[in-house]
């Protein structure tokens, strides 16, 4: 929000300096973002006169100008290339040492084509305050010489720009800012008087209201206006805050929007069709706006339409077909109130950003609809002439009246600052709040219409009556608490936010808690593990196509999206594997799967029959890189198992507690996959090769290895202090066993039986060989198992070793029927 000091003086009588105003604005929460003071930026420029202009002896397009700045200044010679430089012309003169903002140079004396030049004759563009560039600026005859040009042209008016928070729609006007400054003690707040204009006859154009997003709309016809350029004061007002002057009629609406925060719109009445304007929902039609763009409107957009179609996107931007021009003689002025949410949704969908939308979506004063129309009528009649009709309206001004209660003790307990009760009341009254009732320790205030952010929940005095439900009473209580907090904030803000003492947050423990949760730590650990194993992390949509999802899990109706962002993203994914396979296919298609780097993982959510879960999934595809002594290979299911096994061990799972079964889902290869469990029921993850049928669906050829880990199913490690490991000074003893077992025997059962044979001495068991054929009987296989024995107190004797070996043989035979191979 930009405003000038001279504009501020129309609403506030003050003597404060620019520095005091900026400091006060920062203190009351209207943060100053920039200050543009032309007095400093354009210092050094003086009014002058060309005494004589002659042709440069060595250049056809240059002139030698003798310039005087009046008494007390010496005549100087300036070389000028402007075509309009001539004898007797009053000009803007920049002596040496002057900074030219429009050209970003500093003037220095020098020679141009051999002739001395002591300064520069400037155009408005070179001063940064105009667009003309055909020649130097021509000042009127009789302009006093040698005076500061900024003050002569009345440009010594600083422009202040402040940042507005989304809840302060009342501060989007010069009057709203003046009210806050007056409440802070910076001056006297002036009344705003709107002249009464006599009307003649009823308006031939009537409103028809057919949409709940517009509760109240007014308008009137003004006949016989004469549109044209705005007067200098109005043009300067708008241009000082960055608004381009267009015509008197349009400038009046922009002026009132900035002046008091009341957006309005003017239609060329002769370009409207029919005798009524309809506020209604748009159909799916195209609309040409004032910015020259065509917009396709939706059924949720609020529009103003006549018999010919849409003439304005309500509260946002007008239409080109009914825009006022220099030939306009009759205008219809509209002043309305629109729903902020509807305006925001339409503006965001269409990507239209206007000053009117910016104010409507933050909330405008609901009591200013009729007054704003009267103010616009008065200015139009004053500047453009015309005869106004009576006001036509539809709907009614909404019931905005509401109250808020302030307990004065809350200023200290909630705001942290001791403030006298009378002082608090004075501050709120200066902001427009009126005391309705004051008792001991508290007061009830009526909230002004322009403060949409205070007590917006519409606190009702009868909210606690017996005929209200418990939910309504609870909601009213919460709203009352919020309204009281709003009043505390207003008092503290005007008193000065910089005076509120800083309070540290309560610290329940001397040692601060961990910055991340256990779940976050596990996620980071898994990402580092996968990256270390050569997999690249991806982040995919949680949405996939229903055709892809059907290959992995039977789709559920609640997982189907009613309004998907794309037709191929219409269902919540049952597993991140779908996204990884798509990424794998794209990379292989681009030649990235033939160097061993087509391996991806994702840690993300999935949805399905087992509920919402956090899944770590990884895929490997393509062919490994060729190298001397190595053959290019496709990934195998063993790599996927190793990835999954490493992840489980990293999360603290004991290897002895894990088991594998061959009942992987049907999108895995039936003979090259498995399921990892803890106990008989708890499924932790799956691994294996992708089923060829699924691979073909994704356009993949060759072997694809994948794994899935249900991270949430892995129990968190118990937070117990671990004892120091009992390290033995004795060397471990290794013994190898070869068991003959039926092929139906699970290897994990054999390894488990070995571990259980002597839990104190046996510290590790590893499978190192599987052999079939040769001397091994048909239907059986030889399993090579390495057993590590770790004595603690004394070395093992031969007898002890033989006893342990016998116990291992017996345990395996009892558990699986396998015998020791002789």
What does 316-328 look like in DSSP terms, one character per residue? TEEBSTT---TT-
For residue 398, count other CB atoms closer than 10 A to its CB: 13
Task: Enter the tokens of residue 280.
Answer: 């209604």
373 and 238 within one domain: yes
Question: How would you class 512 by CB atoms within 10 Å of its CB: exposed for 0-12, middle for 13-18, buried for 19 or more?
Answer: exposed
C-alpha–C-alpha distance, residues 228 and 806, integer Å = 112
Phi, psi dihedrals of residue 86, rounded to the nearest 5°: -155, 165
Q: Binding-site residues, please? A: 453, 486, 489-490
Q: Is 507 part of any domain?
A: no
Q: Binding-site residues for Mg(2+), please? A: 453, 486, 489-490
DSSP 221: E
Give the orientation angle of helix 470-496 with respect to helix 421-430, to 10 degrees.
90
Q: Is 508 part of any domain?
A: no
Q: Is 726 part of any domain?
A: no
Provide the terminal-to-terminal Cα distance of the chain, rounded to the nearest Å. Answer: 93
428 and 357 within one domain: no
Q: Is-contact 732 756, C-beta < 8 A? A: no
Q: Is-contact 706 635, C-beta < 8 A? A: no
Select from 666, 677, 673 the least CA-distant residue to 640.
Answer: 673
- Choose one of 470, 499, 528: the last residue of a domain: 499
> Residue 128: what pLDDT?
81
C-alpha–C-alpha distance, residues 77 and 113, integer Å = 14
Domains held by the chain: number:
6
Distances (CA, A) of 67 to 75, 88, 124, 515, 764: 5, 10, 18, 72, 102
244 and 364 within one domain: yes
> Residue 214: what pLDDT?
94
C-alpha–C-alpha distance, residues 628 and 711, integer Å = 39
- Choose one of 377, 395, 413: the last residue of a domain: 395
Query: Which residues have C-beta within 8 Å of that of residue 700, sequence separation ≥ 6?
Result: 581, 584, 585, 588, 621, 690
CA dihedral 747→748→754→758, nearest 10 degrees, is 180
Please name the residue that has the structure tokens 């770590």.
Answer: 616
Q: What is the CATH number of the domain that holds 807?
A: 3.30.70.380
Q: Is 510 part of any domain?
A: no
User: For residue 550, what is the enclosing H or E element?
Assistant: helix 546-550
Q: Is 280 part of any domain?
A: yes
Which string of DSSP letters, residue by residue, matches 436-487? Answer: EEEETTEEEEEPPTT-TTSSTT---GGGGSTTS-HHHHHHHHHHHHHHHHHH
> Residue 463: what pLDDT?
33
What is this structure's pTM? 0.64
CA 267 to mean position of chain CA atoms: 35
Q: Are strands 46-55 and 442-446 parallel, antiparallel or unpaired?
A: unpaired
> Which long-range contacts does 290-294 make (Cβ < 8 Å, 24+ apart)?
290/317, 290/318, 290/319, 290/320, 290/323, 291/317, 291/352, 292/320
Distances (CA, A) of 568 to 548, 588, 667, 770: 9, 21, 21, 46
Phi, psi dihedrals of residue 616, rounded to the nearest 5°: -100, 120
Count of CA atoms in the C-beta half-sphere (13 A) of 424: 28
> Residue 459: what pLDDT?
36
Q: Which residues pair with 577 in a beta bridge?
A: none
Question: How would you class 150 by CB atoms within 10 Å of its CB: exposed for 0-12, middle for 13-18, buried for 19 or more?
Answer: buried
215 and 102 within one domain: no
Alpha helices (H) in 353-431, listed in sequence order: 355-360, 369-384, 410-413, 421-430
298 and 432 within one domain: no
376 and 238 within one domain: yes
C-alpha–C-alpha distance, residues 693 and 573, integer Å = 19
For residue 327, count other CB atoms closer than 10 A to its CB: 8
455 and 490 within one domain: yes
Q: Is-contact 456 485, C-beta < 8 A? A: no
**SS3 state of residue 810:** helix
Phi, psi dihedrals of residue 406, rounded to the nearest 5°: -120, 120
Q: Is 196 part of any domain?
A: no
Print the domain residue range for 321. 206-395
Q: What is the CATH number of the domain that holds 362?
A: 3.50.40.10
C-alpha–C-alpha distance, residues 230 and 15, integer Å = 30
Select from 700, 705, 648 the least CA-distant residue to 677.
Answer: 648
277 and 358 within one domain: yes
User: For residue 434, what is the enclosing H or E element?
Assistant: strand 434-439
Q: Which residues pair with 400 in a beta bridge?
A: none
Q: Is 166 part of any domain?
A: yes
> Residue 719: what pLDDT?
66
Q: What is the CATH number of the domain that holds 454?
A: 3.30.56.10
Q: What is the CATH number of the domain that holds 649?
A: 3.30.930.10
Mean pLDDT by groups of 10 residues along the chain of 822 residues: 92 93 93 87 88 91 90 87 91 91 88 91 85 81 89 84 90 94 94 90 93 94 94 90 92 95 95 93 89 90 93 94 94 95 92 93 93 95 95 93 91 89 94 92 93 66 40 55 88 89 80 82 94 93 91 80 86 93 89 69 90 92 79 88 94 86 92 90 93 93 93 82 80 92 89 90 91 89 93 89 92 92 82
Question: How would you class 708 by CB atoms within 10 Å of its CB: exposed for 0-12, middle for 13-18, buried for 19 or more?
Answer: buried
- Choose one of 328, 363, 395: the last residue of a domain: 395
Strands (E), 261-308: 265-268, 276-281, 286-288, 294-296, 302-306
**SS3 state of residue 366:** helix
C-alpha–C-alpha distance, residues 35 and 81, integer Å = 34
C-alpha–C-alpha distance, residues 300 and 280, integer Å = 9
C-alpha–C-alpha distance, residues 369 and 361, integer Å = 16
Tens of pLDDT, residue by residue over 237-295, are: 998 888 989 999 999 999 999 999 999 999 999 999 999 999 999 888 899 999 999 99
Question: How many residues belong to the chain?
Answer: 822
166 and 144 within one domain: no
Phi, psi dihedrals of residue 357, rounded to the nearest 5°: -60, -40
44 and 30 within one domain: no
Query: Which residues have C-beta within 8 Å of that of residue 12, sequence separation ≥ 6?
Result: 178, 181, 182, 186, 187, 188, 189, 190
224 and 79 within one domain: no
Select from 708, 703, 674 the least CA-distant residue to 691.
Answer: 703
Task: Enter the tokens of residue 316.
Answer: 């946002």
> Residue 370: what pLDDT?
94
> Residue 44: what pLDDT?
85
Phi, psi dihedrals of residue 466, rounded to the nearest 5°: -70, -25
Count of CA atoms in the C-beta half-sphere (13 A) of 441: 3
Question: How would you class 654 by CB atoms within 10 Å of its CB: exposed for 0-12, middle for 13-18, buried for 19 or more?
Answer: exposed
Phi, psi dihedrals of residue 474, rounded to the nearest 5°: -65, -40
636 and 527 within one domain: yes
Q: Is 569 part of any domain?
A: yes
């Amino acid at each position: 929000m930009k405003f000038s000091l001279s504009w501020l003086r129309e609403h506030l009588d003050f003597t404060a300096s620019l520095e005091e105003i900026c400091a006060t604005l920062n203190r009351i929460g209207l943060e100053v973002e920039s200050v543009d003071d032309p007095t400093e930026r354009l210092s050094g420029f003086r009014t002058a006169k060309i005494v004589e202009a002659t042709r440069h002896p060595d250049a056809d397009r240059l002139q030698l100008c003798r310039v005087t700045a009046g008494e007390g200044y010496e005549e100087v010679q300036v070389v000028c290339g402007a075509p309009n430089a001539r004898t007797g012309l009053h000009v803007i003169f920049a002596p040496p040492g002057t900074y030219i903002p429009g050209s970003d140079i500093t003037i220095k004396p020098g020679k141009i084509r051999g002739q001395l030049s002591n300064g520069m004759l400037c155009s408005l563009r070179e001063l940064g305050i105009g667009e003309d560039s055909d020649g130097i600026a021509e000042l009127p005859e009789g302009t006093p010489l040698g005076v500061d040009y900024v003050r002569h042209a009345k440009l010594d008016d600083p422009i202040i720009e402040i940042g507005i928070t989304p809840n302060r729609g009342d501060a989007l006007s010069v009057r709203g800012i003046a009210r806050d400054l007056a409440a802070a003690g910076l001056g006297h707040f002036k009344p705003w008087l709107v002249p009464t204009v006599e009307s003649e006859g009823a308006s031939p154009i009537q409103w028809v209201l057919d949409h709940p997003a517009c509760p109240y709309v007014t308008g009137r016809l003004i006949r016989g206006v004469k549109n044209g350029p705005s007067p200098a004061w109005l043009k300067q007002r708008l241009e000082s805050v960055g608004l381009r002057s267009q015509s008197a009629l349009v400038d009046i609406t922009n002026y009132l929007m900035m002046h008091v925060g009341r957006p309005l719109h003017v239609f060329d009445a002769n370009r409207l069709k029919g005798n009524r304007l309809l506020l209604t929902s748009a159909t799916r039609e195209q609309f040409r706006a004032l910015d020259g763009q065509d917009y396709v409107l939706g059924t949720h957009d609020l529009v103003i339409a006549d018999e010919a179609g849409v003439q304005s996107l309500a509260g946002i931007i007008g239409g080109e077909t009914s825009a006022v021009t220099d030939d306009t003689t009759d205008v219809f002025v509209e002043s309305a109130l629109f729903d902020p949410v509807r305006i925001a949704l339409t503006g965001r969908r269409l990507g239209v950003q206007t000053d009117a939308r910016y104010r409507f979506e933050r909330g405008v004063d609901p009591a200013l609809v009729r007054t704003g129309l009267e103010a616009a009528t008065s200015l139009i009649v004053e500047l453009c002439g015309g005869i106004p009709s009576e006001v036509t309206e539809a709907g009614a001004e909404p019931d905005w009246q509401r109250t808020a209660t302030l307990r004065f003790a809350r200023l200290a307990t909630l705001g942290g600052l001791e403030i006298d009760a009378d002082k608090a009341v004075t501050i709120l009254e200066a902001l427009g709040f009126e005391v309705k009732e004051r008792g001991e320790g508290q007061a009830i205030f009526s909230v002004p219409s322009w403060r949409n952010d205070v007590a917006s929940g519409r606190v009702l005095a009868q909210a606690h009556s017996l005929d209200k439900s418990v939910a309504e009473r609870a909601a009213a209580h919460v709203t009352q608490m919020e309204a009281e907090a709003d009043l505390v904030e207003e008092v503290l803000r005007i008193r000065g936010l910089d005076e509120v003492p800083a309070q540290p947050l309560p610290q329940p423990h001397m040692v601060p808690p961990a910055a991340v949760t256990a779940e976050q730590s596990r996620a980071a650990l898994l990402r580092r593990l996968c990256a270390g194993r050569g997999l690249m992390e991806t982040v995919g949509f949680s949405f996939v196509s229903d055709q892809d999802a059907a290959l992995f899990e039977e789709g559920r109706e609640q997982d189907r999206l009613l309004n998907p962002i794309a037709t191929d993203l219409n269902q919540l994914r049952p597993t991140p594997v779908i996204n990884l396979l798509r990424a794998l296919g794209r990379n292989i298609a681009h030649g990235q799967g033939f160097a061993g780097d087509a391996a991806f993982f994702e840690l993300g959510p999935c949805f399905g029959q087992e509920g919402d879960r956090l899944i770590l999934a990884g895929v490997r595809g393509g062919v490994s890189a060729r190298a001397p002594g190595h053959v290019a290979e496709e990934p195998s299911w063993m790599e996927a198992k190793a990835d999954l096994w490493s992840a489980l061990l990293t999360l603290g799972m004991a290897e002895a507690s894990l088991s594998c079964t061959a009942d992987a889902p049907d999108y895995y290869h039936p003979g090259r996959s498995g399921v990892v469990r803890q106990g008989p029921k708890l499924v932790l993850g799956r691994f294996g090769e992708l089923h060829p049928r699924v691979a073909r669906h994704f356009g993949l050829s060759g072997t694809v290895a994948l794994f899935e880990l249900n991270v949430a199913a892995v129990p968190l490690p118990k937070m117990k202090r671990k004892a120091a490991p009992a390290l033995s000074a004795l060397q471990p003893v290794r013994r190898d066993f070869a068991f003959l077992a039926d092929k139906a025997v699970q290897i994990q059962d054999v390894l488990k039986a070995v571990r259980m044979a002597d839990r104190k001495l046996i510290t590790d068991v590893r499978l190192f060989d599987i052999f079939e054929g040769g001397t091994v009987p048909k239907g059986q296989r030889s399993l090579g198992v390495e057993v590590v024995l770790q004595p603690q107190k004394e070395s093992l004797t031969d007898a002890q070793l033989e006893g342990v070996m016998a116990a291992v043989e017996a345990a395996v035979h009892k558990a699986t029927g396998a015998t020791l191979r002789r």
